[in-house]
């Protein structure tokens, strides 16, 4: 991967989890640390891209030469992503976006009364699908976090979400995927499947960006 392979290219990456508020002190979320998305942002900036990182809540420092937009919820991430569309040539959706949010957020802390309680959930908008169907459509890359039948589910998401490329991530193995320092993926395009073996997320990010840059330029 040459050092300037993405020189001047505008690249937008989502990273980390989203949080969907139940009340002022509770939320629904997941185990994404942001490490994979931040590694991609670092590698893209190193390759000369102009990088905007739309990040859910993480413990990570903003990489050098990267512009970060902080968001909390899926709706905020959606709004931030769509606002970048005039200015984005490659979009990479690495965030673990909550698929559902509570129908309403209680304004005060919910008190316990009954033995059981129910929280009604409603679907969040799909960010990568909206980006891929936008009139100023960038080259659109998604991730697929799966615990079984990884390749088939990833292929389904590639097609359904209208993506150019999807990165299939087996998250049933705790050594890779969510919150680990290493990852192992299958890069899936409509034409081919390219395996990238287990390695540190920083190194994997560089290999992944090489594949993405080649497909973007093809
Ligand atoms: O952050 P780390 O701890 O380093 O972990 C990295 C990771 C495992 C989170 C990452 O590699 C990964 O797989 N990210 C995608 C997680 C995910 O939500 O996958 P999904 O299969 O549920 O979603 C498929 C795609 O749709 C993803 O690109 C996702 O960003 C996108 N999506 C999902 C829901 C939604 N409402 N909007 C979206 O854009």
Nearest to 164 by CA among 204, 126, 191: 191
The reply to whether 27 falls in a domain is: yes
The reply to whether 1 falls in a domain is: no
The reply to whether 112 falls in a domain is: no
- Output the CA 146–ligand 1 centroid distance in Å: 10
Catalytic status, residue 152: no
Ligand 1 neighbour 186 (Cβ under 6 A): no
For residue range 152-186, what is the model confidence (pLDDT) as tens digits?
999 999 999 999 999 999 988 888 889 899 999 99
Domain extent for 157: 10-105+119-217
The reply to whether 111 falls in a domain is: no
How would DSSP label each residue in 143-167? EEEESSSHHHHHHHHHHHTT-SEEE
pLDDT of residue 177: 82
Q: Give the chain's domain count.
A: 1
Residue 61 sits in a domain whose CATH number is 3.40.50.10300
- Non-local CB neighbours of 178 within 8 Å, separated by 6+ positions: 30, 31, 32, 33, 96, 145, 171
- pTM assigned to the model: 0.96
Q: Which atom of ligand 1 is nearest to the CA of 144?
A: 21
The reply to whether 110 falls in a domain is: no
The reply to whether 97 falls in a domain is: yes
Give the Cα separation of 91 and 44 in Å (integer): 12
- Output the CA 144–ligand 1 centroid distance in Å: 6
Which ipTM score applies to this complex?
0.98
Q: Which atom of ligand 1 is nearest to the CA of 161?
A: 26
The reply to whether 5 falls in a domain is: no
- With a cut of 70, which residues of the chain have pLDDT below it? 1-3
């Amino acid at each position: 991967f040459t050092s300037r392979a993405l020189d001047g290219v505008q690249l937008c990456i989502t990273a980390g989890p989203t949080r969907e508020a139940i009340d002022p002190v509770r939320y629904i979320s997941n185990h994404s640390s942001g490490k994979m998305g931040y590694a991609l942002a670092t590698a893209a900036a190193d390759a000369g891209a102009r990088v905007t990182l739309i990040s859910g809540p993480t413990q990570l420092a903003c990489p050098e030469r990267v512009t970060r937009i902080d968001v909390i919820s899926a709706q905020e991430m959606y709004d931030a992503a769509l606002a970048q569309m005039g200015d984005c040539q490659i979009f990479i959706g690495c965030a673990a976006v909550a698929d559902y949010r509570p129908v309403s957020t209680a304004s005060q802390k919910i008190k316990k009364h009954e033995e059981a309680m129910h929280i009604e959930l409603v679907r969040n908008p799909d960010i990568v699908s909206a980006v891929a169907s936008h009139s100023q459509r960038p080259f659109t890359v998604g991730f697929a976090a799966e615990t079984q039948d990884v390749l088939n589910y990833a292929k389904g998401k590639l097609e359904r979400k209208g993506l150019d490329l999807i990165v299939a991530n087996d998250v049933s193995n705790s050594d890779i995927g969510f919150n680990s320092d290493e990852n192992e993926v299958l890069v899936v395009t409509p034409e081919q499947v390219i395996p990238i073996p287990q390695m540190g997320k920083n190194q994997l990010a560089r290999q992944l960006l090489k594949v993405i840059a080649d497909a973007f330029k093809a």
